[in-house]
A = this chain, B = another copy of it.
Amino acid sequence: MGFGNVSERRNAPPQIGVSVVILALGPRSHDVRDTSASHCQLWLPLVRRVRQPFLGCWALPGGDLRADRSLEQSAYMALESTTSLHPRYLEQLYTFGDPARSHGGLPMVSIVYWALVEQREAVDAEDDDNVRWFPEDDLPPLAFDHRDIIDYALARLRSKIEYSDVATRLLGPTFTLRQLHGVYEAIAGQSLDLANFRRKMLASGDLEDTGRKVREGRQRPAAVYRYVPSDTLGIASPWQGNASTYSRQDMIESADSQIDHEAEHATTHADDALSPLIPAAHG
């Protein structure tokens, strides 16, 4: 598979693992009469490390990569085995592999996924000694570069909410416009005009009135909507074809692929290396 070049053999490949940033809605932690109208906030579960380095420190849930599983499946397994949660959304975030990030441990490449779980699931999940939920704006010191990874995941969520259905993944399959509005405000971190929000959402054509109504307080009942993706198919994702061999009844639903935002970043230059006579190619 392209390995075996002399200069490349000089150095063993690093370890690989999978980590997951899990996000869910929860109550506001600093409820100092919040000026903005939203009454919820993002929370995420962290696990306590049982090894050096950073022993006892909070860290992202993670696990190993298995050669017979897709990356998504490995991420799903890591997520499930550590937190018993079932995400409504799971997407690759970034792969981190800088040697400096291991801080004394062995060099480690982490393929990081981010996941969204329903509010209901998150409240059911109780904390224990080794897993605890933290509000997004009040995180403890974290192991490795996990704090940066979380910030990046949050940025991605904030970016992605503007052109995809991620917000609905934090709610159940059905929701009122006010609930959806609250999610948008919580993620954006600012208040949004409810009237315009309503119109924009309905104009998008991706919301379908279920006909049902619910009363949150004791006021007029609100219409309940469902998300129905308009079939403006984007470009097919390359990995869609290969994935999903191990489906299960409660498999989380597929999302239409769509090309979107990603973080630009600078690159560095490698120092000299022995050039192979024949270029390597690998799968």
> A-side interface residues toward B, CB under 8 Å?
1-3, 5, 8, 10-17, 19, 47-51, 53-54, 59-78, 80-83, 87, 89-92, 94-103, 105-111, 130-131, 143-146, 148-149, 151-152, 155-156, 158-160, 163-164, 234-235, 237-248, 250-271, 273, 275-276, 278-283
Contacts and interface: CB of A to CB of B under 8 A. Distances in A.
B269 A62 contact: no
A99 B69 contact: yes
A248 B269 contact: yes
Nearest to A102: B283
A276 B130 CA distance: 12
A268 B243 contact: yes
B283 A8 contact: no
Nearest to A235: B155
A8 B63 contact: yes
Contacts of A47: 279-281
Given A66-B8, A148-B241, A238-B96, A255 B262 contact: no
A79 to B, nearest CB: 9
Copies, count: 2
Contact of A243 (B68, B95, B98): B98
Nearest to A147: B238
13 contacts: A5-B64, A13-B66, A62-B280, A71-B98, A101-B242, A105-B283, A110-B283, A148-B239, A237-B264, A246-B269, A251-B269, A257-B266, A258-B264
Given A92-B265, A96-B239, A258-B264, 19 more contacts: A2-B51, A3-B15, A10-B66, A61-B281, A62-B280, A62-B281, A63-B282, A64-B280, A67-B99, A70-B99, A71-B96, A92-B95, A95-B95, A103-B283, A108-B283, A145-B239, A152-B235, A155-B259, A261-B262
